[in-house]
Amino acid sequence: MAEAAQTISDHIHKMLDDLTRAERQLALSVLENYPASGLGPLTALAKDADVSVPTVARMVQKLGYKGYPEFQAALREELKAKVKTPIAKHDTWAEAAPSGHILNRFTEAVIENIRLTLGQIDPTAFDHACDLIADVDRHLFIVGGRITHTLAEYLFLHMQVVRPHVTHVQSTSNTWPHYLLNAKEGDVFVIFDVRRYENNTLKLAELAHERGAKIILITDQWRSPVHQLATVCLSNRIVVPSAWDSATTTMLLLETMISSVQTLNWTQTKARIEGLEDMFDQTKLFRKFT
Amino acid sequence: MAEAAQTISDHIHKMLDDLTRAERQLALSVLENYPASGLGPLTALAKDADVSVPTVARMVQKLGYKGYPEFQAALREELKAKVKTPIAKHDTWAEAAPSGHILNRFTEAVIENIRLTLGQIDPTAFDHACDLIADVDRHLFIVGGRITHTLAEYLFLHMQVVRPHVTHVQSTSNTWPHYLLNAKEGDVFVIFDVRRYENNTLKLAELAHERGAKIILITDQWRSPVHQLATVCLSNRIVVPSAWDSATTTMLLLETMISSVQTLNWTQTKARIEGLEDMFDQTKLFRKFT
DNA sequence: ATTGATGTGTGATAAATGTTTCACAATTGT
DNA sequence: ACAATTGTGAAACATTTATCACACATCAAT
């Protein structure tokens, strides 16, 4: 086997001197568009480098691999590792804890979730969702399920500050049909639904959709069935080393959305926040600092 | 052939709706380790995604390729092109969005918060907190404030599954003195308090402390005044480009704690989760999948 | 120039591996 | 109970890989 510590391309560079002319020509061709060319069939590589098939086979073994497939596997491994951003393979996050400690394992998983979630998000769709939520001419309904209702409430709390006409609906409660009576065309529903997807939520979404409301769905990577009715669907990776799924990534997306909406409605928000601050000062519910 | 203008991963995303369950599962797995996993043998991919070999063959054709090798060739082409473009611009999280987009700015700030928070955490204190929370001989009180009560509730929801004797107290409500009557020496209070720190929360903490209860405080980097009474104090960075503070880091810490407690009480938790699943199945409130 | 050692390409081929497809059973949701 | 989806096992098929023998080229040393 080849050494582990370094990349394969480094390894090839080091070996360059020990290679013969044709082999060197081949090696340089591999490095030319690395690593793509090494991932194709041996024959193609040989033709590409303008060397013969046995030369490839010989060189690969000279590099220390048992065969071409093993070489390819190594390249794939390296590629896999490379795609993860440098920050993601920060092996220990809690430096004082061993790398196997749950603090590090969990954090690593969440960072990976964030990377994958953000990597696949469509900024246009995201912006569109924010525009809809920021539009005060539309009534805003926020719908959460059994677990997600905490996230829904978090959004609700902030939207209350940013704009009027916000309603928090719990899909698990019996009261939601009443809210729906008030929903009219063009209104916006932000619906949270992660596995296990809730039948109530789906029904609510269907009714909302029938009434011509826009639906913004916040779900997981497997996507709630609601997504077929949704104007915008934002999906999150939620898998972590735990018996439950993680809401952290969703929280991040949510807060980003809040921040964005807040900016869109800034003049309104500013006035409302100041009003709130005054009230806090008067009620002395909060302390100013420390 | 697949369209050229976009990346294959985009294309897969677009097709997600037209795919069946197993195919979607496979597609998501391909995106998980993109593009490395798609460059290995078909058999390996199938095993990786936990689907059958024919499923892979079917999906690849559904995506518009003549066969798996053609699909691989397309992936290689894309990889080749990607490496060529000016220095990997992987400093952005949402690749499709400009680096100044709120999605990237916000995420970057949160990652930095996580890094700083985890970097300064004391694993021993953390473990101690988890032990206290997992101890079923102690009654567990969970206390949240105006904003943080959503986090408190999130913890409460999970602790309800993991163990008995859990109470959720809202410091802003008028009912909390009643709960306190039941608190006895050795009981545990998990208290959330971030700026602006709430007077009610502090009073509640004082009373709990007088009664000999242990206090686990979850706060921000400036630390709530409650920390003088706390047995364990976990502080989080919460600053983001927004008018409000971020709860994402706190959520991460919370979920890590939940995961850890869950492991400590695993035999109990397992039985309780299974009971819960049965109940869900019976009430048909939730759908099994997709 | 001749020699011999080394490296390289050719073409063929056997073996291995990977791919595609089939019929059928099992499962799942409607 | 029906239709759609999926997995199983197997077989047929295609491709790829690893080698071989051999011819040819190169080059350094005699």
Task: Tell whether A246 lies on the interface with B, counting CB pairs under 8 A.
Answer: yes
Q: Is the peptide bond before B196 cis (omega within 30 degrees of 0)?
A: yes
CA of A20 to C1' of C1 (A): 27
Task: Tell whether A252 lies on the interface with B, counting CB pairs under 8 A.
Answer: yes
What is the model's pLDDT at position B196? 81
Write the secondary structure of chain B as one string of H (helix), E (strand) and C (coil): CCCCCCCHHHHHHHHHHHCCHHHHHHHHHHHHCCCHHHHCCHHHHHHHHCCCHHHHHHHHHHCCCCCHHHHHHHHHHHHHHHHHCCCCCCCCCCCCCCCCCHHHHHHHHHHHHHHHHHHCCCHHHHHHHHHHHHCCCCCEEEEECCCCHHHHHHHHHHHHHHCCCEEEEECCCCCHHHHHHHCCCCCEEEEEECCCCEHHHHHHHHHHHHCCCEEEEEEECCCCHHHHCCCEEEEECCCCCCCCCCCHHHHHHHHHHHHHHHHHCHHHHHHHHHHHHHHHHHHCCECCCC
Instruction: Give the CATH architecture of domain A122-283.
Output: 3-Layer(aba) Sandwich (3.40)
pLDDT tens per residue across span A97-115: 888 899 999 999 999 999 9
pLDDT tens per residue across span A232-242: 999 999 999 99
CA gap B243, B234 in Å, rounded: 23
CA of A72 to C1' of C29 (A): 42
pLDDT tens per residue across span A128-156: 999 999 999 999 999 999 889 999 999 99
What is the model's pLDDT at position A278? 72
What is the model's pLDDT at position B171? 75
**Does A123 contact B94 at a Cβ distance shorter than 8 Å?**
yes
Query: CATH classification of B8-84 is 1.10.1270.20, yes or no?
Result: no
Which tokens in the block code for residue A187? 């209104």
Task: Tell whether A21 lies on the interface with B, counting CB pairs under 8 A.
Answer: no
Distance from CA of A20 to the nearest CA of B (A): 27
Chain A residues closer than 8 Å to B199 by CB: 284-287
Task: Tell whether A90 lies on the interface with B, counting CB pairs under 8 A.
Answer: yes
Superfamily of domain B122-282: Glucose-6-phosphate isomerase like protein; domain 1 (3.40.50.10490)
Residue A2 has pLDDT above 90, yes or no: no
Average per-residue pLDDT in chain A? 87
CA gap B129, B125 in Å, rounded: 6
**Does B256 contact A286 at a Cβ distance shorter than 8 Å?**
no
Distance from CA of A172 to the nearest CA of B (A): 9
Task: Tell whether B178 lies on the interface with A, counting CB pairs under 8 A.
Answer: no
Segments in chain A forming alpha helices (H):
8-15, 21-32, 42-49, 53-62, 68-83, 102-119, 123-134, 149-162, 176-182, 199-210, 248-264, 266-283
Cα-Cα end-to-end distance for chain B: 29
Which of strand D's nucleotides are less than 7 A from any protein C-beta?
A: 4-10, 15-21
The answer to whether some atom of strand D lies closer than 7 Å to the beta carbon of B45 is no
Topology of the domain covering A8-83: Arc Repressor Mutant, subunit A (1.10.10)
pLDDT tens per residue across span B29-85: 999 888 999 999 999 999 999 999 999 999 999 999 999 999 999 999 999 888 766
Please count the residue pairs, one from chain A and one from chain B, whose beta carbons lie less than 8 angstroms apart.
239
Pairing mode, if any, of strands A166-170 and A214-220? unpaired
Which tokens in the block code for residue B60? 């690849």
Name the B residues in 195-214 with CB < 8 Å from any A CB: 195-200, 202
Nearest to B80 among A36, A110, A259 (CB): A36
Map out the domains of chain B as residue ranges: 8-84, 122-282
CA of B83 to C1' of D20 (A): 39
What is the model's pLDDT at position B285? 55
